[in-house]
Structure 1
Amino acid sequence: MSERTLLRGGRLVDGTGSPATPADLLLEGGLVVAVEAPGRLGAATAQVRELSGAVVCPGFIDVHSHADNAPLLAEDDRSKITQGVTTEVVGNCGFSLAPVSDAHRDALRGLMSRVFPPLAADWSTLPELFAVTDAAGYVTNYAPLVGHHSLRVAAMGMADGAPDADHLAAMRRATQEAFEAGAFGLSTGLIYPPGLFARDAEIQALAEVMPAGRPYVTHMRGEGRMLLDSIAEAIRIGEAAGRPVHVSHLKAAGRKVWGRMGEALALLDAARERGVDVTHDVYPYLAGSTMLTATLPPWFQEGGNPSVLRRLADPASVDRLRRDIESDDGAWENHVDACGWSGIVVASTRSHTHDGKSLQQIADDTGVEPLQALIDVLRAEELEASMIIFSMREDDLVEALRHPLTMVGSDGLPPGGGGRPHPRMWGTFPRVLSRYVRETGVLSLEEAIRKMTSLPARRFGLQGRGEVRPGAVADLVVLDPAVVHDEADYADPVRPACGIADVFVGGHPAVDGGTYMGRRHGTRLAPAGP
Structure 2
Amino acid sequence: MDSTLLTGATLADGTGRPLRPAEVLLTGDRITAVEDPGVLPRDRPVRDLNGLVLAPGFIDTHSHADNAPLLPDDDTTKVRQGVTTEVVGNCGFSLAPRSRDHGSELDAFTRRLFPPIEFTWSTFGELTAALDDAGYVTHHCPLVGHGTLRIAATGMTDAAPDEHDLRRMRHALEEAMHAGAFGLSSGLVYPPAVFSETAELLLLAEVLGGHGLYATHMRDEGAGLFDALDEALRIGAVAGRTHVSHLKAAGDANWGKIPRALALLRGARERGAAVTQDVYPYTASSTMLTSTLPSAYLAGGTQDVLHRLRDHRERLTEILGGELPGKDPDRILIAGTASHRHEGQTLQEIARATDSRPIDALLDILIAEELQATMVLFSMHEDDLLTALGDENTMIGSDGLPPGTGGKPHPRLFGTFPRMLSRYTQAGLHEQPGTAAPLDLPEAVRRMTSLPAATFRIPDRGVVAPGHIADLVAFDPENVTDVGDYRDPVHSPLGIDWVCLAGRTVVHHGQYIGGRHGKRLQPAQ
TM-score, with length taken from structure 1: 0.96
Matched residue SS, 1:94:
coil
Q: Aligned partners of 1:338, 1:480: CA distance in 2, in Å? A: 42
Identify which range, 375-384 or 127-136, moves more after superposition. 127-136
- Secondary structure at 1:233's aligned position in 2? helix
Query: In the TM superposition, what whole-angstrom CA distance separates every residue of 1:56-82 from its partner, at most 9, and x where no partner exists?
Result: 000000000000000000111111000
Maintained 8 Å contact 1:339/1:390: no
- How big is each residue's C-alpha offset from its partner over 1:338-384, in whole Å with a ceiling of 9 and x where there is no partner? 44111111100010011011111111111111111111000110011
Match of 2:159 in 1: 161
Structure 1 residue 122: Cα displacement: 2.1
Question: Is the 8 Å Cα contact of residues 209 and 239 (structure 2) preserved in structure 1?
Answer: no
Post-superposition offset of 1:337: 4.2
Corresponding residue for 1:494? 490
Q: Residue type matched to 1:58 in 2?
A: P
Unmatched tracts of structure 1, length 5 or more = 329-335
What are the within-5 Å matches in structure 2 for residues 113-262 of structure 1? 113-239=111-237, 241-262=238-259
1:276 matches 2:273:
yes
The Cα of 1:229 is off from its aligned counterpart by 1.2
2:429 matches 1:442: no
Hey, what does 1:332 align to over in structure 2? Answer: none
Identify the residue that residue 369 of structure 1 maps to in structure 2: 357
Q: Where does 1:371-410 land on structure 2 (aligned, <5 Å)?
A: 371-410=359-398
RMSD in angstroms over aligned alpha carbons? 1.3
Aligned amino acid, residue 224 of structure 1: G
Flag the 1:379–1:178 CA change in 2: closer, same or farther, 3 A. Answer: same
Determine what percentage of the aligned residue pairs are the same residue.
55
The amino acid of 1:12's aligned partner reads: L
Instruction: Tell whether 2:412 aligns with 1:424.
Output: yes
Q: 1:377-418 CA deviation, whole Å, 9 max, x = no partner?
A: 001100111100000110000000111100100001100000
User: What is the CA-CA distance between 1:498 and the residue it aligns to?
Assistant: 0.5
Aligned counterparts of 1:420 and 1:397: Cα–Cα separation in 2:
23
Identify the range of structure 1 (348-357 vs 202-211) with the bigger mean alpha-carbon deviation: 202-211
Verify: 1:458 aligned to 2:462, yes or no: no
CA 13–157 in structure 1, closer or farther in 2 if over 3 Å, else same = same
**1:175-220 Cα distance to aligned partner (Å, 9 max, x none):** 0000000000100000000110111111111111125432100000
* 2:262 corresponds to: 265
CA separation of 1:355/1:388 partners in 2, compared to 1, >3 Å: closer, same or farther? same
**Distance in structure 1 (CA, Å) of the matches to 2:269 and 2:316:** 40
The amino acid across from 2:335 in the alignment is A
| Structure 2 SS opposite 1:313 | helix
Structure 1 position 129, deviation (Å): 1.1
Distance in 2 separating the partners of 1:318 and 1:224? 26
Give the SS at the match of 1:278: strand
User: 1:327/1:400 Cα in 2 relative to 1: closer, same or farther (>3 Å)?
Assistant: farther
**Residues of 2 paired with 1:140 and 1:467: CA distance?**
17
Is the contact made by 1:478 and 1:503 (CA closer than 8 Å) also made in structure 2? yes
SS of 2:101's equivalent in the other structure is: helix
Task: Write the distance in 2 (CA, Å) between the matches of 1:348 and 1:114.
Answer: 10
- Superposition misfits of 4+ residues, deviation over 4 angstroms: none
Task: Tell me which protein shows more helix as a share of its residues.
Answer: 1
Cα displacement (A) at 1:321: 2.7
Q: Deviations over 1:113-144 (max 9, x none)?
A: 11001111121111211111111110000000
Which of 292, 297, 310 in structure 1 is aligned with 2:294? Answer: 297
- Structure 2 equivalent of residue 87 of structure 1: 85
Residue 474 of structure 1 is matched in structure 2 by 470
2:329 matched residue in structure 1: 341
| Runs of 5+ unmatched residues, structure 2 | 428-434
Could you tell me which of 310, 318, 323 is aligned with 2:313?
318
> Which residue of the partner structure matches residue 333 of structure 1?
none
- Partners of 1:139 and 1:156 lie apart in 2 by 34
Q: Which amino acid aligns with 1:476?
A: L
CA distance in 1, matches of 2:12, 2:195: 45
SS, match of residue 119 in structure 1: coil
TM-score for the superposition, normalised by structure 2: 0.97
**C-alpha distance in 2, partners of 1:123/1:365?**
44
Q: Using a 3 Å threshold, how does the CA distance of structure 1 residues 13 and 338 change in structure 2: closer, same or farther? A: farther
- Are 1:112 and 2:107 an aligned pair? no
Q: Is the 8 A contact 1:224 1:338 kept in 2?
A: no
Deviation at 1:319, TM superposition (A): 3.7
Residue pair 1:27, 1:474 contacting (<8 A) in 2 also: yes
User: Aligned letter for 1:448?
Assistant: A
Q: Displacement, 1:323?
A: 4.4
